Amino acid sequence: MSSQIDHLLDETRKFPPSEDFVAQTISSPELYERAAADREAFWGEQSRELLHWHKPFTRVLDWSAPPFAKWFDDGELNVAYNCLDRHVEAGNGDRVALHWEGEPGDSRTITYAELTDEVKRVANVLTDLGVGHGDRVAIYLPMIPEAIASMLAVARLGAIHSVVFGGFSADSLRARIDDAGAKVVITADGGYRKGRVSALKPAVDQALSDRGDGEQQTVEHVLVVQRGGNDVDWVEGRDVWWHEAVPAASAEHTAQAFPSENPLYILYTSGTTGKPKGILHTSGGYLTQAAYSHKYVFDLHPETDVFWCTADIGWVTGHSYVAYGPLANGATQVLYEGTPDSPHPGRWWEIIEKYKVSIFYTAPTAIRSFMKIGRAVPQKFDLSSLRLLGSVGEPINPEAWMWYREVIGGNKAPIVDTWWQTETGAIMVSALPGVTATKPGSAQVPLPGISIDVVDEQGAEVGNGNGGLLVITEPWPSMLRGIWGDPERYKETYWEKFEDQGYYFAGDGARLDEDGDLWLLGRVDDVMNVSGHRLSTAEIESSLVAHEATAEAAVVGASDETTGQAVVAFVIVKESYLAEHDPAGLAQLLRLWVGEQIGAIARPRDVYIVGELPKTRSGKIMRRLLRDVAEGREVGDTTTLADTAVMSIISAQVK
């Protein structure tokens, strides 16, 4: 990390937007001025301009009981109506909402009128299955149009969705279904990944059946999309085929208005403890900022642009920039089911050429893996339709930024590096592409209406030229409203550290350069960022110690050229296990175990079997020292260890 930071400090290149870009941009410096003049009035204006309110709000923000905010709280709206019906009513029903591309090469084009019709039918089916206002629905689907339709149908009913990434295991799925108390699960038989069908329904069956004594089962029905064509088990009375129920349902459905603070979704994310947190987002404020940021950060021209965000709907980026932002703005977008290299390494570029994608939003880890393969692959395709590029999920190193600019953006498309989190709901820090001169590796400036600072451990501003902790100093419309079922944890995790100042603590380190631009420096807590996915060290450690071989485990995120960070585990094996088993192959076994327990994304890159772990006298594991070993560095200061010889033993064992 430190070498990367030194390197970042040397970066001085700047790229102002071209004259052509400025001539057509929808944004202007005036946005910053308006927001600065009266922040709340600004958000009120944005919300009225971008959304349809069934009942207009009269109050923008209620911050009388911090950290629990209410935005636009006496207003009423329907989120799905805002994403669908109103575009059809405005005469844009024939506009393409989704250019969907399946991994095997099948495709579907779905207009706003068609998507509206489908969502109304699904809403009727869900109503028949007993889903009503406030009920929770888990969604465990591949990247198919039905995934978007499901989210919107749940939203239409004023119910709450919890999308679970399709790569998560049955155990992870069960934990999420149980925590939310879901009434219905929407899944598919399977979906295509890496050239073959990857089954999903068996994980749902397992999540719902594998129960200990006395555990309550909340799920009443499972709605199943047929996609993979793989054989599935069927529970009569519980399971319902989508292709039977949805076409048979009525396409008449009137969207009812719900209060602005009606919960919209729960999305689980990793924190510093083993238990994932259910981040809760609500309706009016969330949709306002999702639409606002999507419009201005991506300089959206909905009549002509083709937008493509490559994120899976299982992550927050897929919620805000595949589902809600683009649809609220009436944009045309690409949705792709599969992996970037199936069936060939140019698949993404082929899709950009095919649909003439003009705005492309992806993660640095993807860019770095394309860099590795080389520019010859993208250069085989016509990427000239691209006029704007975005990056999200982790710090983008200047080399990857420059490659993205030159090879993908043809040296003309501005790059917006967008910083935000599951908790923030929408983009918080980013250049405005028609206004800001961009800098490789810097996320740069808070969006108009957003207040961010960098402070020291005591909460004092560090000022330009210095590093510290990123904080959000004023409430924002799409902020999380809490952690599902755990208001105390919400306060502790985000608000306690800077309680006196009333700042939200993001968990990220950052630096302000001499111009006051922000450079993100990675997490300062025990959260890792692997390929832009958040993983907690504690969660993987608890999975490792759940294996019969493991006595103790410590996990660190070590820097990795392609994935940003990689999971590296240090494991002490039980004597009793060694007495009866051959330790060869155990490391591999444990890697696969974690993959099965949590999901393939959590599988450690390396598992080292060691005899000891470095601990302080109070018994706290010093992960910093393990990170030194994992990154092949000289081991740092060991004087606070209970046994200072431990690190040389571990280093020898790792070699």
Amino acid identity for residue 212 in this structure: G
Per CB under 6 A, 310 contacts ligand WTA: no
Residue 640: HSE in the Cβ half-sphere, 13 Å Cα cutoff: 12
Rounded to the nearest 10°, the torsion over CA 203, 205, 209, 210 is -20
Has 545 been labeled as part of a binding site?
yes
* Cβ(438)–Cβ(409) below 8 Å: no
Shortest distance, CB of residue 293 to ligand WTA, whole angstroms? 11
Tokens matching residue 263 = 């919960």
Burial of 616 (0-12, 13-18, 19+ CB in 10 A): exposed
* Residue whose CB is less far from ligand WTA, 352 or 535: 535
* Cβ(309)–Cβ(318) below 8 Å: yes
Name residues whose C-beta falls within 8 Å of residue 186's C-beta, 6 or more positions apart in sequence: 137, 138, 139, 140, 141, 146, 150, 222, 223, 225, 242
* Residue whose CB is less far from ligand WTA, 42 or 404: 404
The footprint of ligand WTA on residues 268-287 (CB under 6 A) is 269
What is the DSSP annotation of 144-199? SHHHHHHHHHHHHTT-EEEE--TTB-HHHHHHHHHHHT-SEEEEESEEEETTEEEE
Shortest distance, CB of residue 11 to ligand WTA, whole angstroms? 14
Per CB under 6 A, 507 contacts ligand WTA: yes
Of 317, 442, 537, 565, which lies in the binding site for ligand WTA, with binding defined by CB under 6 A?
317
Has 401 been labeled as part of a binding site?
no
Has 463 been labeled as part of a binding site?
no
Has 116 been labeled as part of a binding site?
no
Of 332, 418, 436, 438, which lies in the binding site for ligand WTA, with binding defined by CB under 6 A?
418
* Cβ(594)–Cβ(571) below 8 Å: no
* Residue whose CB is less far from ligand WTA, 125 or 139: 139
Question: Applying CB under 6 A, which part among 17-25, 162-170, 390-398, 549-557 lies near ligand WTA?
Answer: 390-398
* Residue whose CB is less far from ligand WTA, 378 or 507: 507
Which H or E element spans position 124? helix 112-128
Strands 160-163 and 533-536: unpaired
Quickly count helices (H) and strands (E) in the chain: 23, 30
Has 531 been labeled as part of a binding site?
yes
Tokens matching residue 93 = 């029903």
* Residue whose CB is less far from ligand WTA, 84 or 309: 309
Per CB under 6 A, 563 contacts ligand WTA: no
* Residue whose CB is less far from ligand WTA, 330 or 414: 414
Question: Applying CB under 6 A, which part among 42-50, 79-87, 254-262, 418-426 lies near ligand WTA?
Answer: 418-426
Cα–Cα dist 584/605, whole Å: 17
* Residue whose CB is less far from ligand WTA, 322 or 553: 322
Helix, strand, coil shares, percent, the chain, to 5: 35, 25, 40
Question: Applying CB under 6 A, which part among 51-59, 155-163, 503-511, 640-648 lies near ligand WTA?
Answer: 503-511
Amino acid identity for residue 204 in this structure: V
Preceding omega of 67 cis (within 30 degrees of 0):
yes
The footprint of ligand WTA on residues 527-546 (CB under 6 A) is 529, 534
Per CB under 6 A, 147 contacts ligand WTA: no
* Cβ(616)–Cβ(642) below 8 Å: yes
Of 25, 310, 421, 536, which lies in the binding site for ligand WTA, with binding defined by CB under 6 A?
421
Question: Applying CB under 6 A, which part among 7-15, 124-132, 446-454, 506-514 lies near ligand WTA?
Answer: 506-514
Of 135, 508, 513, 517, which lies in the binding site for ligand WTA, with binding defined by CB under 6 A?
508
Has 317 been labeled as part of a binding site?
yes
Annotated binding site for Mg(2+): 545, 547
Binding region for ligand WTA (CB under 6 A): 269, 315-317, 392-395, 417-422, 443, 506-508, 520, 523, 529, 534
Annotated binding site: 193-196, 317, 393-395, 417-422, 508, 523, 531, 534, 545, 547
